[in-house]
Amino acid sequence: MLRKSKLKDPRSDVKGIYLMTVVEGLYVQLLLMCVIQMVDMTTLPPVFNPTPLNVTAYVGETATLPCSISNLGSREVIWKKVKEKHALTVGEFVFVKDPSFSVKHIPYRDEWNLMINNIQLKHAGKFECQVSTKENMHRFITLTVSDEPSKNYPEVHISGPKFVERGHPIRLTCNATGSIRPPELIDWFQEGRKIKSNSLGGISISKYMRQETNTLYSELVIRHSDQMDSGTYICRSSEDKITSHDLLVLNGRSANGPSDVLNAQSPVGKRESNIDPDNLPINEDPSKTGNHQSRNRPSHGVFVCVLLISIVLI
């Protein structure tokens, strides 16, 4: 008895060959794209991105000279001052003794900005942002320094009474003047303790600004004074200018009634933690959030390419 032989359908073979051809074609295309991407990472020339070419600053300010470069790769950014032989910086390293110079690297914007702190008239001139390549790749930035606003030195003053009867309100005004623009903040302290607005404690701090005189005004009001509100009041501007004012709360009777009926608040409820007035905290720069060294961070496409190449070798 003869067994029936199982014959393959020729159409299935055609479909299998066609499917394998399509898969192999897609695989080859993907592999070629990965190879091209890896080659581009090493062969694409650096490109300067648009940034301002003229910077103006006033004496005492911090000037930022911008320089943004894409496709930098393993190359370095060099800052020089035109007509000077030696480089100011290479990468993030500073090669001059002047402590005013530094480099701020912002990886996600491809920026290598030259920073000049406490700028002086001698810093004015033309600077060169250069890429360390065989080709002559550079961009010039002109820095102009003006000393006009230096006539207005930062100042801070407190006005208000020296003596206040117990139960009467305390009103102190602090006006802080900036050299170029008004200060951003004014802080109040009493006997080394920082004061903040507290509606329940009867304390309010308000401020307003006058641009034409570069002045920030702050008014401290304590609605019901107590003998523990006596002491030295300190006003400090964001430019670290400080002045003080001595105030004494008298234990007397006012025309409105006996002082012992008045609602006196505990200084603990009014004030925050103790702070040494001779060592008041300085505002920190929020931009200093870490040192990001990620200039040559590999992309996800590179990992895919390595995976495909390893499969081929296997």
Q: For residues 231 and 107, give the distance between their C-alpha atoms in angstroms, rounded to a whole number.
A: 50
All structural domains of the chain: 47-146 (2.60.40.10), 155-250 (2.60.40.10)
**pLDDT of the residue at 166:** 93
> How many residues belong to the chain?
314
**pLDDT of the residue at 256:** 44
**pLDDT of the residue at 83:** 86
**pLDDT of the residue at 169:** 93
Q: What residue has token string 């060959």?
A: 17
**pLDDT of the residue at 314:** 53
**pLDDT of the residue at 289:** 36
DSSP, collapsed to helix, strand or coil, labels residue 221 as strand
Overall pTM > 0.75: no
Q: For residues 85 and 81, give the distance between their C-alpha atoms in angstroms, rounded to a whole number.
A: 8
Region class of 71: left (phi > 0), else alpha (psi between -120 and 50), else beta: left
- Tell me which residue of 89, 77, 138 sits closest to 116, measured CA to CA: 89
**pLDDT of the residue at 269:** 36
**pLDDT of the residue at 260:** 40
Instruction: Tell me the residue type at 169.
Output: P
Do residues 69 and 46 make contact, with C-beta atoms less than 8 angstroms apart? yes
**pLDDT of the residue at 286:** 34
Q: What is the mean pLDDT of each run of 10 residues along the chain (314 residues)?
A: 50 67 73 62 79 87 91 91 91 91 90 93 94 84 80 78 93 87 89 89 88 84 92 90 93 50 37 40 38 40 54 52
- Tell me which residue of 243, 305, 297, 283 sits closest to 29, measured CA to CA: 305
What would the two tokens of residue 284 be?
A: 């920190």
